[in-house]
Amino acid sequence: MSEAAGKVYLIGAGPGDPGLFTLKGKRCLGEADVVVYDYLANPRLLRYAKPGAELIYVGKQAGTHTLPQEEIGRLLVARAREGKAVARLKGGDPFIFGRGGEEAEELAAARIPFEVVPGVTAAVAAPAYAGIPLTHRDFTSTVAFVTGHEDPTKDETGIAWDKIATGIGTLVFFMGIGQLPEIVEKLVRHGRAPATPAAVVRWGTRAEQEVVTGTLENLAEKCQGMKPPALIVVGEVVALREKLRWFETLPLSGRRILITRAREQASGFAAVLEAAGAEVVEFPTIGIAPPESWAPLDAAVARLREYQWVIFTSRNGVRFFWERLQAAGRDIRDLAGITVCAIGPATAAALLSVGIRADLVPTEFKAEALIEAIQAVFGAGAIAGSRVLLARAAEAREVIPEELGRRGAQVDVVAAYRTIRSASDADAVRAMLREGKIHAVTFTSSSTVKHFLDLVGGEAEVLLRGVVVASIGPITAQTAAQHGIVSHIVPENYTIPALAEALVGHFRAARP
């Protein structure tokens, strides 16, 4: 993608909900060598950046600039002149009060190739998530986007207040919460009725979304003390909110949930939670890596015909076993006559995806239940004298091999993969927990608990006060309890869908 002179992509990150990011934005972000991102760009979008990409934060909040606008322009030019592809990730849409036009001018002046990737503007998205349509055939056919904070260096206003006050049906003001009394005064002075419905939408589409409705006459008073980012919406369409509000009715709306699962396994879980209205923060405390050596697994694959049983305890075990089986020039025919066991439905589904149907899946998804199921289905003495291959993580509970050994089986425990501590941004998560921005934390294995504790340090118990802790099963909950962490949610079925359903049920019941 990089050219001799490099290239810059001015990408709209959307209003905050990562599901509103565009497909083209995702593609460009994944190809970029450098990502320069803003305060209003959801950090979760950075997961689309390619490994090794340089990530540069240039966030700008009211009164606080990490990097002045002029420096941002110079940074984009400098990186592009190094021959790099640069993704400039801006909140909302870059050309709607995003100063994207200024950055594009600097690039054009420097003869740097650039493209603009539009984003979903907050002007449309925030009111939509608040249940406010900007146009409606029964109310208005006109809408205008207006800045509530003009360039302070200008001698006079560029806004024709006398025309927009009565000439436009719906007005959407950006960056105007600090000037709300003045905006209201100008609209009323130029003819807009004081009884006109109006609303302020703060952090639209995010877990912190806050909506205050009223009229031009009382909105400023109702919103005293409210801080940016927020949009002001003025017009008769605001009255439709009471009928059309939908986002707040979702069971996990307003909840920010921390997922500690490995990044490559978190997407399905996150999608279920997001569909229920949650904002997900991925904090992968573990990563999945190959074992220190493939030699033990390869040796087991070479003598596969010597085993009567093969047991898998996770999807990762299936994945790596299958890869090494194929690398050895073998396939599912080598499992003919061997009894294949899976500890749960997710593991069984992973086996089925490569053409292997598990002979046994216990109804309770833990090691002890697997032993009981083997005895119940195949008889108490079924495994005596048998040779069993257990392909699993390098670090795991010893229940299965110990119990099988007691029953006369010869068990070969082979590491198919390792769980390693992930290099996650622990400082950011600690800050969110301290500030009460995390409403629930999920643990999907004992490893996620242990590595979470390693990453956040000794203050975990304090940080989790007031936070709902959801553990996938009793073993995980027991590990958490050993470190002083109480699990409020433990589903009856130890699966990701059951954990998501339990979270939905818990917060739905907690609603007033």
Q: What is the pLDDT of residues 30-49, one digit of tens each?
A: 999 999 998 888 888 998 99
- Every domain of the chain and the residues it spans: 7-119, 124-249, 256-285+422-510, 289-421
Cβ proximity of 141 and 236 under 8 Å: no
Please classify residue 380 by burial: count the beta carbons closer than 10 Å to its beta carbon, then call 0-12 exposed, 13-18 middle and 19+ buried: exposed
- What distance in Å separates the CA atoms of residue 386 and residue 407, rounded to the nearest whole number? 10
Establish whether domains 256-285+422-510 and 289-421 are of one fold: yes
Nearest Cα neighbor of 85 from 142, 39, 28 is 28
Nearest Cα neighbor of 86 from 45, 51, 114, 117 is 114
Sign of CA dihedral 468, 473, 479, 482: positive
Give the catalytic positions in this structure: 38, 60, 175
Amino acid at 339: T
- The percent helix, strand, coil of the chain (3-state, each to 5) is 40, 20, 40
The pLDDT, as a whole number, for residue 216 is 98
Cβ proximity of 176 and 148 under 8 Å: yes
Residue ranges in the chain whose pLDDT is less than 70: 1-4, 60-66, 150-155, 263-265, 365-367, 380, 423-424, 512
The pLDDT, as a whole number, for residue 357 is 94
Tokens of 171: 């007005």
- What distance in Å separates the CA atoms of residue 130 and residue 123, rounded to the nearest whole number? 11
- What distance in Å separates the CA atoms of residue 469 and residue 258, rounded to the nearest whole number? 10
- What distance in Å separates the CA atoms of residue 367 and residue 483, rounded to the nearest whole number? 22
| Domain 289-421 -> CATH class | alpha beta
Q: State yes or no: cis peptide before 229, omega within 30 of 0.
A: yes
The pLDDT, as a whole number, for residue 424 is 67
- What distance in Å separates the CA atoms of residue 135 and residue 121, rounded to the nearest whole number? 16
Specify the fold of 7-119.
Cobalt-precorrin-4 Transmethylase; domain 1 (3.40.1010)
Amino acid at 116: V
Residues 6+ apart with CB under 8 A from 336: none
Q: For the chain, first and last CA: distance in Å? A: 52
pLDDT, averaged across the chain: 90
Helix (H, G, I), strand (E, B) or coil at 481: helix
- What distance in Å separates the CA atoms of residue 147 and residue 158, rounded to the nearest whole number? 10
CA 346 to chain centre: 21
The pLDDT, as a whole number, for residue 419 is 81
Nearest Cα neighbor of 387 from 464, 303, 307, 326 is 307
Structure-token match 């046994």, residue found: 360
DSSP, res 221: H
Give backbone dihedrals phi and psi of 115, rounded to 5 degrees, phi first: -135, 150
The pLDDT, as a whole number, for residue 67 is 75
Cβ proximity of 176 and 147 under 8 Å: yes
Cβ proximity of 473 and 446 under 8 Å: no
Q: For strand 256-259 and strand 440-443, is the pairing parallel, antiparallel, or unpaired? A: parallel
CATH 3.40.50.10090 for domain 256-285+422-510: yes
The pLDDT, as a whole number, for residue 344 is 85
Q: Is the pTM of this model over 0.85?
A: no
Cβ proximity of 407 and 384 under 8 Å: yes
- CATH architecture designation of domain 124-249: 2-Layer Sandwich (3.30)
Give backbone dihedrals phi and psi of 250, rounded to 5 degrees, phi first: -65, 140
**Which element (helix H / strand E) includes 115?**
strand 114-117
Nearest Cα neighbor of 503 from 446, 425, 442, 437 is 442
Q: What is the pLDDT of residues 373-402, one digit of tens each?
A: 888 888 767 888 999 999 988 877 788 888
